[in-house]
Structure 1
């Protein structure tokens, strides 16, 4: 066997393996969100997550991949493996949204938006950020370094979520008489399972984005990338736990896990660039940002049941800017420009599309339907029919 053939086969297998790890994030998001919502909305959340994977993936296959990359060509590994890896990414932008608008969003209009996100919005961001020769030298030329998508994926989904929350509004009864009604999670074991599945999936998310493992140098880089990814998650979890204990003398597992996820989002832009210790600092900042951002969004009545804005939007921005701060030869100005341009595009286009869809098929369920639960009204299947539904 020729060396080139062996490298092609090895890199193809590596990409497929990384893709499988990323697909584990589908049940990760589903379990996390199912555990954080009330029992009367669990089936709806699970249905939305399955539909996102199906609709976004097919939209990317039919339209989005061509928009993102221009052609079905890849000389270093199988194009089919490369496509599957990129397809595994696309649904995550809407997964970020689905948790943040849960308990009051209707499934069909969200599925319609998923088509637009998978076919147009996300692929255009990919095209501009990850290699569009046609825009080189123009104002749209983004030289931002973003290995696996702190901005391209996480912030894009976060900006779309912000637009959706502004259009849909908060859950019924969430904000009353200037006070915030605490709505507790329904199933903490599912939250833990979902978060840990996401954590595992991140190793494929970031490690696979190196693109190759068929040389000693690339193998070392993949290993370092995965190690740094894990380190940032560890630091984010620890700092979130420390802050919560200092403030409330309690260890809130949901906030600890969101702190870990915040660290993982933050490191995603440049885990291949750092030494073994810088990810600790990046993860510490990421986890702390989650803890402090959650009440800020609540102050502005931006109802986000799972904390996705704090985890994905805030830390997507932080992680991208951190590359310009800590990585050698990476321009902070270029990182900031990328964050701003992607933010303007993702938010404005998402808002317009969501607004138009909302005129045709209303996103927000009625107050009565929210009170009864989205499972009954959207799915006709309750996850826990024997249980008394929470108000």
Structure 2
């Protein structure tokens, strides 16, 4: 008994070191400590989603590009971290821009230096908030890479990471989360269906248009050749990692332990994901006669993307509906993009773009008065007596943010294409980016057996 007590006290002292120096820590100190612990854990979960992206993108592409896909993800997350620390965070949350300019961009907190601990009256340390927000910026960037997959030069990843992390993502995040003009309008995007997912998807769209399809994707008559990924187990495991990380993504965005409301957010998140997975599998099975695994995996992610904006604003039944619609939407949108001759190997446009738009608009229908009051942003949706006002604000945010992300990404990549080129040579693409960009294979033994065109 004494041993167990000593272990318990030691654990508490590790988690809440203020208890070692104060006989009677205040309720505010304990609350701050719990908040800090939760937000840090949530940030780690969101950062771990990069492992999900590595497996998802690697499994969805060919073996000859596996090492490249995995390696450039780690490289770009590192570069994103430095750029976001230097300028991106300041453009998002800087408070020195003045009343007029602050509507459009933040200024201040460049080369961010957090305090050693939370200040008096703060709910959590600024260092932990930075880590949490950085993880979101990195996720949006990884979404964009879907439009670059299997054909872009590594140097393009470097250039685009700098611009995206410094300007494109921070501007949109400031508009909605940093006190900008859409925040003033009452835009409801709890954890980023628009800020994170639509932004990344529109960058992916710009990239895939300028890079053009992979060799062999489309025939001269317009018919489509399916280019299969090399490992569906990787893809499924990647989806599962993303699913688990999403609890940090959504529930962590409450930024407090408090009365446990973050649990309700997590509850809705799970229902939305489940609805998306089931609906996508069933619609594919019904229309094609085959229970397509890829469609089901995309459906789970689409449900997660869609519920991201609304997880704190809607009742559980609505979370299920939002997920179900997202699952159906992702199936048909993938077919649409193929008909438009857009080569999207990771289905970023369908999963993060189409579902991101739907998830943001869904608040305009399903946001309840009670939950809107709880969160303190915007108005109830159309089905809860709020009229069309919130639906209009949601539509406005989708159109403006989507257009800005696409135009900015397209402009940057167009300049890079004219100056340096975006795409590897035909020979390099056929050999594979592992060998042509890095001088080695992700699967050296297998590539020796199967040949370079595997």
- What TM-score bracket applies, with the shorter chain setting the length? over 0.9
Residue 360 (structure 1) shift = 2.7
Shift of 1:300: 0.9
Does the alignment pair 1:313 with 2:353? yes
- The match for 2:179 among 121, 125, 132 is 132
User: What is the CA–CA distance in structure 1 between the aligned matches of 2:247 and 2:364, rounded to whole Å?
Assistant: 23
Corresponding residue to 1:45 among 55, 69, 77: 69
User: Given the alignment of the two structures, is residue 198 of structure 1 paired with residue 242 of structure 2, yes or no?
Assistant: yes
**Residues 30 and 49 in structure 1, CA contact (< 8 A), matched pair in contact too:** yes
Question: Which residue in 2 is equivalent to 1:239?
Answer: 279
Query: RCO (CA 8 Å, sep 6+): is it higher in 1 or 2?
Result: 1
Contact 2:146-2:204 within 8 A present in 1 as well? no
Residue 142 of structure 1 and its aligned partner are, at CA, apart by 4.5
User: Per-residue displacement from partner, 1:169-189 (whole Å, max 9, x unpaired)?
Assistant: 110111112211111110111
In the alignment, does 2:129 pair up with 1:105? no
TM-fit CA distance, 1:365: 1.2
* Aligned position for 2:399: 340
User: 1:360 and 1:27 mapped to 2: Cα distance?
Assistant: 33
1:92: Cα distance to partner? Answer: 1.3
Deviations 1:270-302 (A, max 9, x none): 101111211110000101111101111011111
Question: What does the per-residue CA deviation read over 1:302-334, in whole Å, with 9 as the maximum and x for residues that have no partner?
Answer: 100111100001111000000111113341011
Establish whether residue 88 from structure 1 lines up as the match of residue 140 from structure 2.
no
Please name the residue that 2:206 is paired with.
163
2:413 paired residue among 344, 350, 354: 354
Task: Give how far 1:385 is off.
Answer: 1.8
* Deviation of the 1:94 alpha carbon: 1.7
- CA contact 1:142–1:338 (8 Å) conserved in 2: no
User: How much has 1:100 moved relative to structure 2?
Assistant: 2.9
Give CA-to-partner distance per residue, 1:225-283, whole Å, 9 cap, x none: 01111111111110111011112221221211110000000000010111121111000
Q: Which whole-Å deviations, capped at 9, do the CAs of 1:152-204 have from their partners, x for residues lacking one?
A: 01000011111111111110111112211111110111111111000000000
User: Over aligned residues, Cα RMSD in angstroms?
Assistant: 1.5
> How many residues of Structure 1 are paired with residues of Structure 2 in the alignment?
383
One of 332, 337, 347 as aligned partner of 1:297: 337
Write out aligned runs for 1:168-183 (5 A). 168-177=211-220, 178-183=222-227
Say whether residues 1:322 and 2:362 are aligned partners. Answer: yes
TM-score for the superposition, normalised by structure 1: 0.95
Question: How high is the TM-score relative to the length of structure 2?
Answer: 0.82
* Cα distance in structure 1, aligned partners of 2:394 and 2:146: 28
Residue range with higher mean Cα deviation, 66-75 or 298-307: 66-75
